[in-house]
Amino acid sequence: MFETVVVGADDSAGAARAWRRALDLVRVSGGTLHVVSAVRAKEERPPDLPEEFRYTYVGAGATDWLHGQLRAEAQREHVHIETHPVLADPVDAITRVAAAEKADLIVVGSRNDHGTRQLSSIPQRVLDRAGCAVLVV
């Protein structure tokens, strides 16, 4: 059974499918669900911006809101959850957290164009780099 599951989270339909599947798997296993969101850096940050505000400047406010919503849903389902906003591209963020947490499984969403699912670059690159099982939904 999968005790440590990592799932990528953003506002896409594929990520929503991945979240639901990962939540269901961890609810059954009683393990820990690690939710990862990539926070992308803007080209430049104001030179006078204190370091402690760097994530806010790059858009972590939306990520924090999403993680709050997912934490609330996981708590209603009695699932232990940890959130990881990571300043990196999605593939690096997901695989880095999976390695650090010694994940048994990574769950990622596929793109859904006109009723057909397609393996986009992010799930493909996660498959290529992951050191554990990957479920694409």
* CATH of region 4-136: 3.40.50.620
Domain segments of the chain as ranges: 4-136
CA–CA distance, 95 with 101 (Å, rounded to integer): 10
pLDDT at residue 120 in the model? 80
- State mean pLDDT over 74-98: 95
Q: Give the C-alpha separation, 72 to 18, whole Å.
A: 17
Residue 43: the pLDDT is 46
Pair type for strands 111-113 and 116-118: antiparallel
CA dihedral 76, 77, 80, 85 (to 10 degrees): -70
**What average pLDDT is seen over the chain?**
87
Q: What sign does the dihedral 27-15-5-79 (CA atoms) show?
A: negative
pLDDT of 73 above 50: yes
Mean pLDDT score, 3-25: 95
pLDDT of residue 65: 85
Quick one: pLDDT at residue 115? 64
23 or 46, which is more confident? 23
